[in-house]
Amino acid sequence: MRPTSIASTRLAPLALVALLASTACSSSDAQAPPAEAVDAGASDGAADAAPARGTVEVFATLADSTEGLAFAGSPPRLYVGSGGAVLRLDSKGAAEKVADVPAPVGLAGRASGALVVCGLSEVEAGPGHAVLYEVDPVQATSRVLVGVADGPFKLTNYVAVAPDGALVWSDSGADKLYRANADGSGVALVTDAIRYPNGLAFSADGATLFVASWSTSKLYSLSRAADGSYGAPSVYFDGVSLVDGVVALASGTLVLVTTDAGLILLHPDKSRETLAPASAFNVPANGAFAPAGYGSGWLYVTQLLEPTIKRVWVGEAGVSLPGAAL
């Protein structure tokens, strides 16, 4: 999902988000004062006592709200999309702009250290908007990989990088999932059988793609073959509503980032438990596991209605991402 300022076609869903946020959070309308950024790197020390599982901390406060985030590069750094740009955050939460990207939504890291950014593409999108961009953090530049003309697209949302470097992204407004080659060529429809596809995550072995259906209570899985093709979607789990982001752990457990129920752990045996309640967030959106230097074992989480990045102690390793060894 994305803030109302850049998603006029999502007024109905975002009205629901606002309503859910008002009931899930404190009855006070006043936003808590910004907290100091946490030194996430301190948690890598062997002598440090581990926090309780589900502990939530403020990591950084930005000027605008965020949605997509990803670790990338060597050494890995945290990147977020906010305010029409991609920002880089150091391990203390200090932010600097890397490159301008119109309406950034989902982010994913490449093995090269570059970022793939899913941009806003909808009926009212103005000049300069595209679907996928590549951002080079070293050169501080961005370029279009997939343009609006490569569609038609309706409301592009989240992007993931497959183990072979190919790209896959959701078009939530059109109920479609697309793929393309690493350079953005060969755009092809994967499926149109998932209602409001949103967050994406690959399993640890890269053989399964998980897709959240935000407007239903279903989480889907698609098999991924060695040639990069995908099988038909099947329901992996049914019973958690409004799932925005999906994050995979190396153990096979999934973290479901939900609009109204906080963060849910979905284990391989399909049992589930609450990792962090909705009251700890102001509408969480997506998550990314920290590599060394940012506090291994922490999950970093963006929020749609508050310009802070939070982190949640999980105490497990996430799936290794391209360019960000865990």
| pLDDT digits 0-9 by tens, 41-81 | 444 443 468 899 999 999 999 999 999 999 999 899 999 99
Q: How many CA atoms lie within 13 A of 95 on its CB side?
A: 22
The percentage of residues in the chain with a pLDDT greater than 90, rounded to a whole number, is 72
What is the per-residue burial (b if ≥16 Cβ within 10 Å, else e) of 252-265? ebbbbbbbbbbbbb
Cα separation of 244 and 222, whole Å?
Answer: 18
Q: Are 98 and 140 in contact (CB under 8 A)?
A: yes
Cα separation of 282 and 20, whole Å?
Answer: 10
pLDDT at 37: 37
Name the residue with tokens 């939504």. 105
Residue 79 in domain: yes
Range with the poorest average pLDDT among 121-125, 155-159, 267-271 = 121-125
Cα separation of 176 and 317, whole Å?
Answer: 31
Structure tokens given for 158: 């989240």
Q: What is the CATH number of the domain that holds 287?
A: 2.120.10.30
Q: Are 182 and 165 in contact (CB under 8 A)?
A: yes
Residue 12 in domain: no
Number of domains in the chain: 1
Residue 17 in domain: no
Q: How far is CA 250 from CA 77, 196, 204, in A?
A: 20, 27, 6
Structure tokens given for 166: 């190919």
Question: What integer is the mean pLDDT of 303-309?
Answer: 96
Question: What integer is the mean pLDDT of 92-118?
Answer: 95
Beta bridge partners of 141: 136
Question: What integer is the mean pLDDT of 24-40?
Answer: 36
Q: How far is CA 115 from CA 175, 211, 227, in A?
A: 25, 20, 23
Residue 71 in domain: yes
Closest by CA position to 119, among listed 79, 153, 72: 153
Question: What integer is the mean pLDDT of 82-105?
Answer: 95
Cα separation of 237 and 239, whole Å?
Answer: 7
Q: Which amino acid would we find at residue 287?
A: G
Q: Which amino acid would we find at residue 310?
A: K
Helix ranges, the chain (H):
11-24
**DSSP of 56-113, one letter per residue?**
EEEEEE-SS-EEEEEEETTTTEEEEEETTEEEEE-TT--EEEEEE-SSEEEEEE-TTS
pLDDT at 1: 52
Residue 320 in domain: no
User: Rounded to 5 degrees, what are φ and ψ at 26?
Assistant: -60, 155
Question: What integer is the mean pLDDT of 112-138?
Answer: 79
Domain span holding position 120: 38-44+52-313
pLDDT at 151: 85
Residue 267 in domain: yes
pLDDT at 148: 85
Q: Are 120 and 105 in contact (CB under 8 A)?
A: yes
Structure tokens given for 120: 């806003």
* pLDDT at residue 127 greater than cutoff 70: no
Question: What integer is the mean pLDDT of 107-125?
Answer: 81
Q: How many CA atoms lie within 13 A of 22 on its CB side?
A: 7
Torsion of CA 189, 164, 82, 276, to 10 degrees: 90
Residue 11 in domain: no
Residue 213 in domain: yes
